[in-house]
Structure 1
Amino acid sequence: MTDSAKRDLVAQWAFDTRPVLLRFHLWLEDVEVERAQAEPVSAHTFAPRGIARCLAMTSAATALGTRLFGEFGAGAKQDKATVNQVKKAADAVSAYVMSEGLWHLTRTLPENHALMVCLGEGLMPKAGETPEMGANPMLGFGRVYARPDLARTVDRRVRRLLNEPGHTFEQFYAWLQARGITVWGAAVDTLENTSRFADGQPTGPMAVFHLFDSPLRLARPYESYMGCLTVPARVAEAAAGSSVLLDYRTPRKQVAEAIETAYPGIRREHIHVWTLRGKSRVHRLGGLWEEWKKAGVHLVEDGWKAPSGLAVFTDSGTYAPTFLVGSWQDEAQAPHVFLCDGYAATAEAMQAASLSDVLDVRSTMSLFSPTFELPFDVEGRLMQLDPSASDFAQRLNDVIGGRGVEAGKVSAYAEAIGDATASNMPLGKPVLHADDFLPEKNWSVLASVGYMCDDPYTGAPGVTRVADNVYRVTTRLATRKASSRITFTLRLMESFETTRQVFSPLLVRFLSGVDHTTRPVKISDSGRIRNELQTMIPQALEHDGESIRVHFDRINEMVLSRQKQAAIQKVLAWYKANHPVWFHWLELA
Structure 2
Amino acid sequence: MTETDRRNLVAQWAFDTRPVLLRFHLWLEDVEVERAQAVPVSALTFTPRGIARCLAMTSAATALGTRLFGEFGAGAGRDKATYNQVKKSADAVSAYVMSEGLWHLTRTLPENHAMMVCLGEGLMPKVGETPEMGANPMLGFGRVYARPELARTVDRRVRRLLNEPGHTFEQFHGWLQNRGITLWGAAVDTLENTSRFAEGKPTGPMAVFHLFDSPLRLSRPYESYMGCLTVPARVAEAAERASVLLDYRTPRQQVVEAIEAAYPGVRREHVHVWTLRGKTRAGRLGRLWEEWEKLGVHLVEDGWRAPSGLEVFTDSGTYAPTFLVGSWQDAAQATHVFLCDGYAATAEAMQAASLSDVLDVRSTMAMFSPSFTLPCDVEARLMQLDPSAPDFARRLGELNGGRTIEAGQVRSYAEAIRDAAASNMPLGKAVLRADDFLPEKDWHVLASVGYMCDDPYTGAAGVTRVADNVYRVVTLLATRNASSRITFTLRLMESFETTRQVFSPLLVRFLSGVDHTTRPVKISDSGRIRNELQTMLPQALEHDGERIRVHFDRINEMVMPRDKQAAIRKVLEWYKVNHPVWFDWLDVA
Bin of the TM-score, shorter chain as denominator length: over 0.9
Report matched runs for 1:143-162 at 5 Å.
143-162=143-162
Q: CA deviation at 1:401?
A: 2.0
TM-score, length-scaled by structure 1? 1.00
Aligned residue identity for 1:229: L
* Secondary structure in 2 matching 1:477: strand
Deviation, structure 1 residue 343? 0.3
What's the secondary structure of 1:342's corresponding residue? strand
Q: Matched residues in 1 for 2:467 and 2:302: separation? A: 33
Residue type of the alignment partner of 1:403: R
What amino acid sits opposite 2:194 in the alignment? T
**In the TM superposition, what is the alpha-carbon distance from 1:350 to its structure 2 partner?**
0.1
1:402 maps to amino acid: G
Match of 2:365 in 1: 365
Q: Describe how 1:80-99 pairs up with structure 2 within 5 A.
A: 80-99=80-99
Aligned partners of 1:400 and 1:292: how far apart in 2? 21
Q: CA deviation at 1:391?
A: 1.8
Per the alignment, residue 308 of structure 2 pairs with: 308
Amino acid at match of 1:178: N
CA distance, structure 2, for counterparts of residue 577 and residue 383 of structure 1? 50
Q: Which amino acid aligns with 1:55?
A: L
Show the counterpart of 1:585: 585
**Residue 178 of structure 2: aligned partner:** 178
| Correspondence list, 1:483-522, <5 A | 483-522=483-522
CA distance in 2, matches of 1:547, 1:380: 41
**What is the aligned partner in structure 2 of residue 264 from structure 1?**
264
**2:517 alignment partner AA:** T
Any idea what the Cα deviations from partners look like across 1:383-439, whole Å, max 9, x if unmatched? 001111122122212222222222211111111001000000000000000000000
Q: Give yes or no for the alignment of 1:317 onto 2:317.
A: yes
SS of the equivalent of 1:366 reads strand
Instruction: State the shift of 1:292 in Å.
Output: 0.3
Q: SS of the counterpart of 1:60? A: helix
Does the residue aligned with 1:292 lie in a helix, a strand or coil? helix
CA deviations 1:298-347 (Å, max 9, x no partner) are: 00000000000000000000000000000000011110000000000000
Q: Which secondary structure does the structure 2 equivalent of 1:166 belong to? A: coil
Offset, 1:552? 0.4
- Paired letter, 1:513: G
Q: Which residue of 1 aligns with 2:246?
A: 246
Q: Give the aligned residue type for 1:267.
A: R
3-state SS in 2 of match to 1:478: strand
Cα shift at 1:81: 1.1
Give the deviation of 1:120 after TM superposition: 0.2
The residue that corresponds to 1:121 in the other structure is 121
SS at match of 1:183: strand
Question: 2:24 corresponds to which residue?
Answer: 24
Separation in 1, partners of 2:375, 2:395? 17
**AA of the residue aligned to 1:172:** F
After superposition, where does 1:208-219 map in structure 2 within 5 Å? 208-219=208-219
**CA–CA distance in 1 between the matches of 2:174 and 2:415?**
29
CA deviation string 1:88-133 (max 9, x = no partner): 0000000000000000000000000000000000000000000000
Once the two structures are superposed, what CA deviation does each residue of 1:356-378 show, in whole Å capped at 9, x if it has no partner? 00000000000000010000000
Give, in whole Å, the separation in 2 of the partners of 1:108 and 1:399: 52
Q: Deviations 1:245-272 (Å, cap 9, x if unpaired)?
A: 0000001111011000000000000000
Residue identity matched to 1:400: N
* Counterpart residue identity of residue 119, structure 1: L
Identify the residue that residue 551 of structure 1 maps to in structure 2: 551
1:290 aligns to 2:287 (yes or no): no
Counterpart of 1:245, as a letter, is L
Q: Per the alignment, in what secondary structure is the counterpart of residue 331 of structure 2? A: coil
Q: Secondary structure at the match of 2:68?
A: helix
Deviates more, 1:387-396 or 1:98-107: 387-396
Shift of 1:461: 0.1
1:184-212: CA deviation from partner (whole Å, max 9, x where unpaired)? 00000000000000000000000000000
In the alignment, the residues of structure 1 paired with residue 551 and residue 395 of structure 2 have an alpha-carbon distance, to the nearest angstrom, of 40
State the match for 1:458 in structure 2.
458
- d(CA) in 1 for partners of 2:387, 2:15: 55
Q: Which amino acid aligns with 1:548?
A: I
Tell me the distance in 1 between the aligned counterparts of 2:10 and 2:476.
Answer: 17
Distance 1:400 1:528 in 2: 49
- Within 1, Cα distance between the matches of 2:354 and 2:103? 24
In 2, Cα distance between the equivalents of 1:75 and 1:557? Answer: 19
1:417 paired residue number: 417
- 2:160 counterpart letter in structure 1: R
**1 CA distance for matches of 2:236 and 2:537?**
43
Which residue is equivalent to 1:190? 190
SS, match of residue 443 in structure 2: coil
In structure 1, how many angstroms separate the alpha carbons of the residues matched to 2:356 and 2:481?
10
- Which runs of structure 2 are paired with 1:197-208 in the superposition (5 Å)? 197-208=197-208
Distance 2:386 2:180 in 1: 37
- Name the counterpart of 2:394: 394
Cα distance in 2 between the residues matched to 1:278 and 1:405: 25
Q: Distance in 1 between matches of 2:404 and 2:248?
A: 28
Partner of 1:410, secondary structure, is: helix
Counterpart amino acid of 2:152?
Answer: R
Of residues 395-404 and 554-563 in structure 1, the stretch that sits farther from structure 2 once superposed is 395-404
Amino acid at match of 1:316: S
Residue 427 (1) aligns with residue 424 (2): no
Q: Please, which runs of 5 or more residues in structure 1 have no aligned partner?
A: none
Matched to 1:305, the amino acid is R
Q: Which residue of 2 aligns with 1:68?
A: 68
Question: Number of aligned pairs?
Answer: 589
CA distance in 1, matches of 2:366, 2:13: 41
Cα drift, residue 450 of structure 1 = 0.1
Q: Quick one: distance in 1 between partners of 2:176 and 2:401?
A: 46
TM-score (norm. length: structure 2): 1.00
Question: How large is the Cα RMSD of the aligned pairs?
Answer: 0.5
Name the structure 2 match of 1:531. 531
What letter is aligned with 2:435? D
Whole-Å separation in 2 of the counterparts to 1:563 and 1:485: 44
Which whole-Å CA distance do the structure 1 matches of 2:81 and 2:258 have between them? 46
After superposition, the C-alpha distances for 1:507-551 in whole angstroms (9 at most, x for unaligned) are 000000000000011111000000000000100001111111101
Tell me how far apart the structure 2 counterparts of residues 385 and 321 of structure 1 sit (CA, whole Å): 32
Deviations 1:447-472 (A, max 9, x none): 00000000000000000000000000
CA distance in structure 1 between the aligned counterparts of 2:410 and 2:317, rounded to whole angstroms: 31
> Using the alignment, how far apart are the partners of 1:372 and 1:389 within structure 2?
21
Moved more, 386-395 or 473-482: 386-395
Q: Return the letter of the residue paired with 2:104.
A: H
Question: 1:11 deviation in Å?
Answer: 0.2
Segments of 4+ moved more than 3 angstroms: none
| Partner SS for 2:362 | strand
Measure, in 1, the Cα distance between the counterparts of 2:397 and 2:544: 41
Mind listing any 5+ residue stretches in structure 2 that lack a counterpart? none
**SS where residue 341 of structure 1 aligns?**
strand
CA distance in 1, matches of 2:73, 2:514: 25
State the SS of the aligned residue for 1:74: coil
Distance 1:392 1:582 in 2: 53
1:44 aligns with 2:44: yes
